[in-house]
Amino acid sequence: MESMLDVRKLLKKYNIFIYTRDPVGDAILMEMELEELFKAGLISNDDYLKARMILEKEKKKRSKADSS
């Protein structure tokens, strides 16, 4: 897992589709959904951590772009 697309594909496996036209908002909602999947034991610790890192990077990148 290396990109936002990979995170979206992971969520799609569980019929979770997130698109709000706000990339930072999308990342926040995806984090919430990932946490629920992880707590339910549906995704591995490795996938959970990789996806969280990707989402954190995306939020930081988008926040910097919005600030400029």
Domain membership of residue 8 (yes or no) is: yes
What CATH number is associated with residue 49?
1.10.287.760
Domain membership of residue 45 (yes or no) is: yes
pTM: 0.88
| pLDDT exceeds cutoff 90 at 62 | no
Domain membership of residue 28 (yes or no) is: yes
Question: What mean pLDDT is reported for the chain?
Answer: 94
DSSP string, 2-64: -SHHHHHHHHHTTT-----S-HHHHHHHHHHHHHHHHHTT-S-HHHHHHHHHHHHHHHHHHHH
CA distance 58 to 39: 23
Nearest to 13 by CA among 46, 37, 45: 37
Q: Render pLDDT for 12-56 as a digit per residue (tens, 0 to 9).
A: 999 999 999 999 999 999 999 999 999 999 999 999 999 999 999
Domain membership of residue 21 (yes or no) is: yes
| pLDDT exceeds cutoff 80 at 4 | yes
Number of domains in the chain: 1
Q: Output the CA–CA distances (angstroms, integers) from residue 33 to 1, 39, 65, 67, in the order listed.
A: 17, 10, 25, 27
| Confidence at residue 68, expressed as pLDDT on a 0 to 100 scale | 63
Domain membership of residue 67 (yes or no) is: no
Domain that holds residue 56: 4-62
Domain membership of residue 11 (yes or no) is: yes
